Structure 1
Amino acid sequence: MNDAKKNDNTVNSNSVQGEEKVIKIYKMLLPIQMFITVAFFFYEFIFIHIYQKYYMFFFIVLLFFYFYFYFIKKYLSKIKWFLLFQYLNTTLEISVVTLAILIFSLSINPDTVLIGPFIMIYILVIVATGFRQSLQISFYAAILAVIQHLLIFYYLIKQVKPDILMAIIDFGPQGTFQKTLYILLAGLISGLLANHTKKIINNVSKSTLEQYQLKNTFGQYVSNEVRDYVLRADFDGAGDLKYGAVLFSDLRNFTTIMESSQSKFMLSHLNEYFTEMVDIIQMNNGVVSKFVGDAILAVFGVFSYEKDSISPEDFAVMAAIQMEERLEELNKIWLNDNKAHLKMGIGIDSGNLIVGNVGCEDRMEFTCIGEVVNSAMDIEDLTKRFNVKLLISDNVHSAIKDNISFESRIIAHKEAVCDGKKFVSLYTVEDQII
């Protein structure tokens, strides 16, 4: 229902834009026609002194239409009966052409009017109706032009010389009937092209809307960077080898806290925590790969398409420090709200990892895998043993040791073993000791 409504709004918007283009065309052509009318007026005034009042009347009509189009353009989007308004405008446009031909026929021989190229003015107006993107309107313009053209023919035919009468009424290039056919064909072709253009616009609008909704919905389950990475044209899901830093954070004793509290309130509490932590990760050019219970797995530098002057390790450590600082602030707020006090451990490692789809045919998940991911998890687990909030690997330390912001805050730990894996050196940030 909403999709259809949005699509209708798009169509209405296109109709308004089409009407604006038609008005723009006439605002350009009307001054030219007014100049021609004034020229004929002075010609009549100087040499003939008979029909100048008709040219003056026609000039006033053209002036009225110019200001009519000028003012109506401002209120197009507010017109309720827009389709009826388009038919009204089409009627006025065709009728002005008819009025022009009748008035100019006063100074021009009737046979010249009937044989000459005046019929092309009708065709130009009919072609312009194509901007209204309606076969019905274009064909209506053609039918109306044919009727008025035949009325002009009936009015002027009595004044035509007998020797050219047959040339006017036959089916030759100068004949009225063939010109009538030209008008009808112009309306039909213009309308068909308008309808085809309208279908293309509708299809493009629908496709664009679907892509937007897909990206918007997809972005609620994965980060924007992951969403754009998956939806890019050359992504085949097979997996890409990337270099980056992996941050793994985990809440201490959260399961115990959950068991001693009401689950629905703790879930809201957890989501509030996630919101704050994810914001910090994203501010430091990080991407949340997944949530594992109350843990966060984030990567830095993996989805960067341009080389950044700051290394992924720098971003990861800055994010970790800010996360811990923000958690302390949140705990003070939560204390006043009688909410549980949360503690967090963070482990960071860097290296090569593979990003891509993992799973089976019926259930796929986009994730990052590799030894560096496992290492970050193991390092986080060691924060409990060393009684610190943050631990980083030797690789990360090597990458950030020249960073002035961290240089005086790094202290070394001896080698450690976790789940059979040996870490030669681990480091923490100086003021992160519990």
Structure 2
Amino acid sequence: MPSISDIIDKHRPQSSSYEELYKWFHAHPELSFQEQKTAEAIVKHLEKFNVFEIHSSIGGHGVAAVLKNGPGKTLLLRADIDALPVEERSNLSYASQARMIDQDGVEKPVMHACGHDMHITALLGAAETLVNAKEAWSGTLILCFQPAEERASGAQDMIDDGLYKKVPEPDIAVGAHVMPERAGVIGTKRGLIASSADSFQLKIEGRQAHASTPHRGVDPIVQAASTIMRLQTIVAREVNPLDFAVVTVSAIHAGDRENIIPEEADLKLNIRTALPETRERVLNSVRKIIAAEADASSNPKQPTLKETTRFPFLFNDDDVTSALEKTFSQHFEVGKHGYNSDISRLQGSEDFGILATAIGKPSCFFLYGGIDPEVYDRAEKEGRMNEDIPGNHSPYFAPVVQPTLTTGMDGYVVAALTFLGKEA
């Protein structure tokens, strides 16, 4: 019986057409909740195979495609499809110049600064490989192209819109993400693979006054400054150094004239943790500090804290991950430049797991690198990783097309054949 590598080598499509498809997705990004053209391009590509049962407009612009290929398990492979309000600075020939109106009615530059364009293309390439290799596997394959991951709602939106009434419930779900690691690297990790993330809008209402008479007002800027600085003590003084937490104030807007103390300050907060008990403790401290700084500022109005997004913890199932460890180590070179069974955890957060936890099923999320090996090796040698290696959400984050695309594509296919292959 042929090995997984034999099957992939025989049936993997020519890379050139998918490299061009990737560049098209990269040049045509769309914001969360507005991924219409992206979804249409996905559907158009899947229709070429003439074997998928395709469902579109699920939970917004979500797409799910089903291929029933005899008896066996049902596996869901997921890619996210939305982009970010970031102005690209990569200087690539196919760099995004797109602009869109966001949900607040403000025109923003748009970029695939988190690699979702690579996820889409890798899953489409994996789909063609698996169609070509139908004789080598048995079961049901579900492709899930999920919108609005960046807003932490796309997976739940698809569930709420009846995803599993349109497609069969999977026995296992597998997702993936490209990272600022050396291209060619791919890895899994048992247990926690992505932290929780809670985002909030904080409104501090003060009392407007002339800048020359601060005693007549309540200054929301000074209160905001004290609040921001005090929030930074939570991780430094309340979280075990062996644990993990991040408290970030990522935006502050207040005032517009130099001689007016403004009426209010608006802040945006992002809190990330790795343990449920740490999450509860940190969020409790955030609320206490916000209230206490209002009292310290003699402000009779308590600030309002409104939750905007909420990413759950993402855990890789031990049994599913163990099975992938075996097949990934057989297909990919094991080592620093290939497969790693204990890859560093995703520092960002993900809503992928909801596609599995919503129906009580296990999942695994694997990671793969996208940085040009020469650039990565030089930065590592010179001790300039932070300066020279752009991370996700950077205006410079643009994965090198190869070997990134083939690695991601093969990762999806290996996962599928692990659970649907006839030998399995």
Q: TM-score, normalised by structure 2?
A: 0.22
Larger radius of gyration: 1
Greater per-residue helix proportion: 1
Q: TM-score, normalised by structure 1?
A: 0.21
